[in-house]
Amino acid sequence: MLNEFKAFIARGNVMDLAVGVIIGAAFNKIVESIVNDLVMPVVGALTGGGFDFSNYFIALSSNVTATSLAAAREQGAVFAYGNFITVLINFLILAWIIFLMIKGVNRMRASLEKEKAAEAAPPPEDVQLLIEIRDLLKSRPAV
């Protein structure tokens, strides 16, 4: 069983997945920083709500008197719509970046495939001659 496990772990797909998860976690930190440090302060300033959109909430309990979301959650139930908006914007930015990355990769693949097709060796002379004869026969009117 140990040898089977080693073979499973050593497979390329599992290693690729592990690398992808690690890079994804690091990439998530970058996107969170973009959202929290660059986008949300601008959105907050434009909406007149200050610089921290994630602290917008509605108290669902009369016990809640705090002005920050973390402190309000300790006091009672809150409807944290600002935090949801922050997470939603974070998701949209991440989805947009992934879309642009996939679009770029697809363009590169198409470009490489065109280059490979152009580099393909021409068919041998006898095959080329047969292709020309076939094309001439196709263009001839039917009798």
**pLDDT tens by residue, 33-84:** 887 788 777 777 777 765 567 788 888 988 888 888 889 989 989 998 888 8
Full-model pTM? 0.53
- Mind giving me the DSSP string for 23-69? HHHHHHHHHHHIIIIIIHHHHHHHHTS-S-GGG--EESSTT---SSH
Using CA atoms, how far apart are residues 98 and 24, in angstroms rounded to an integer? 11
pLDDT at 40: 72
pLDDT at 107: 94
Largest CA distance in the chain: 95
Give percent of the chain above pLDDT 90.
12
Using CA atoms, how far apart are residues 71 and 94, in angstroms rounded to an integer? 29
Instruction: Give the mean model confidence (pLDDT) for residues 2-16.
Output: 77
pLDDT at 133: 92
Using CA atoms, how far apart are residues 55 and 33, in angstroms rounded to an integer? 17
38, two tokens: 């660059």
pLDDT at 51: 54
